[in-house]
Amino acid sequence: MQVFGLLGNPVGHSLSPPMHEAAYDHLGLEARYVTFEPAPDDLERAIDGAAALGVSGCNVTIPFKRDVLAFVEPDPLAQRIGAVNTVDFGESPPTGHNTDAVGAVRALGRHDVTLERASAVVVGAGGAGRAIAFGLADAGATVTICNRTASKAETLAEAVPGATGGGLGRLPVALSSADLLVNATSVGMEADQSPVPPEALHADLTVMDAVYTPLETRLLRDAAKRGATTVDGAWMLLYQGVAALERWTGESAPVEAMNEALRQGLSSPVAGSGE
Ligand code: NAP
């Protein structure tokens, strides 16, 4: 029996267990996916303990995504992003990876969005914003990062190839010629709000939201009204899980089975939002 898990605090009603276990059932793997909630200052012991107990792999979420870098061997992308969301215990020391970046890219690919030479705007410069900005730039897009705290966007833009960054005030101009907009802020989760003025949206845009609770955010509703193509946050969540599963098992992930389990979990009134 293999054990995989999610390391976070709080992990709440995570959607990863049903999504991953649907894949194990489909692949005939004897495996379980469980949630671990160590105290915030117990991360090193949690990683060492998981390795000693033979845990095969862990996803990592708030508040550990940055701190875990110190206790694993990060791959070059995770190092550049400055965050790990997937630990592989198959090697010693365990290795750290960031599948949020490829999750965003594969979610957009699933919707036939071409990133090579696309003009992309990322709103947000936290953990998700960093991963998405690197993912889009590495896939060939020119990225503009806009964040409430402008200095964070400017600092991130210096690290992301070809990117520029600034405050939210840059959004209307940046969006006027953009092909793609990704919301990587948490705005839209707690309240029915959008970080983007609706009049800045247009029909030539694809708009993806990283927020997945609710699935239909204010931003996506505004975008649909303006004729834009919309991609909800569950697609990115799905594909970061797909990439983690493929790394851990070496198997091709049963994407549709995982998507079905995820969407079913999201329709539950207690669906979590931690990944
Ligand atoms: P984070 O590191 O805490 O960053 C939060 C971001 O939101 C920062 O850029 C912050 O701006 C911005 N922000 C917060 N409140 C704001 C407001 N009222 N107005 C404007 N900007 C605001 O969080 P994170 O880990 O990046 O997560 C962000 C969202 O992405 C969450 O909803 C999370 O659930 C989601 N997410 C989804 C996936 C997925 O697979 N779909 C994966 C990862 C994360 P400042 O820098 O100015 O504070």
Whether ligand 1 lies within 6 angstroms of the CB of 124 is answered as yes
> 213 CA distance to ligand 1 centroid (A)?
13
Residues 78 and 13 in one domain: yes
Residue 39 tokens, joined: 């105290």
Q: What is the pLDDT of residue 275?
A: 67
Residues 6 and 89 in one domain: yes
Residue 13 lies in a domain: yes
Handedness of CA 184, 187, 188, 189 (dihedral sign): positive
Residue 46 tokens, joined: 């949690």
> 30 CA distance to ligand 1 centroid (A)?
35
Mean pLDDT of the chain: 96
Question: Which CATH number is 147's domain given?
Answer: 3.40.50.720
Residue 59 and residue 78 in contact, taking contact as beta carbons nearer than 8 Å: no
C-alpha to C-alpha distances, 222 to 107, 134, 207, 218, 227, nearest whole angstrom: 20, 26, 10, 6, 9
> 129 CA distance to ligand 1 centroid (A)?
7
Residue 274 lies in a domain: no
> 199 CA distance to ligand 1 centroid (A)?
22
Residues 245 and 173 in one domain: no
Residues 61 and 105 in one domain: no
**DSSP characters for 125-141?**
-SHHHHHHHHHHHHTT-
Q: What is the pLDDT of residue 87?
A: 98
Whether ligand 1 lies within 6 angstroms of the CB of 5 is answered as no
Q: Whose CA is nearest to atom 20 of ligand 1?
A: 148
Whether ligand 1 lies within 6 angstroms of the CB of 148 is answered as yes
Residue 120 and residue 182 in contact, taking contact as beta carbons nearer than 8 Å: yes
Distance separating alpha carbons of residues 231 and 194, to the nearest angstrom: 15
Q: What pTM value is reported for the model?
A: 0.96
Q: Could you list the residue range(s) of the whole structural domain that residue 70 is in?
A: 2-97+235-266
Rounded to a whole number, what is the distance in angstroms from the first to the last CA of the chain? 24
List, by residue number, the catalytic residues: 65
Using alpha carbons only, what angle is made at residue 79 by residues 7 and 143, rounded to the nearest 5 degrees?
A: 105
Residue 192 and residue 218 in contact, taking contact as beta carbons nearer than 8 Å: yes
Residue 271 lies in a domain: no
* Predicted confidence band of residue 270 (pLDDT cuts 50, 70, 90): low
Whether ligand 1 lies within 6 angstroms of the CB of 240 is answered as yes
Question: Which CATH number is 23's domain given?
Answer: 3.40.50.10860
Looking at the 3D structure of the chain, how many domains does it have? 2
Q: Whose CA is nearest to atom 7 of ligand 1?
A: 185
Q: In terms of residues, how long is the chain?
A: 275
Residue 216 lies in a domain: yes
* Predicted confidence band of residue 12 (pLDDT cuts 50, 70, 90): confident
Q: Whose CA is nearest to atom 11 of ligand 1?
A: 148
CA 24 to chain centre: 22
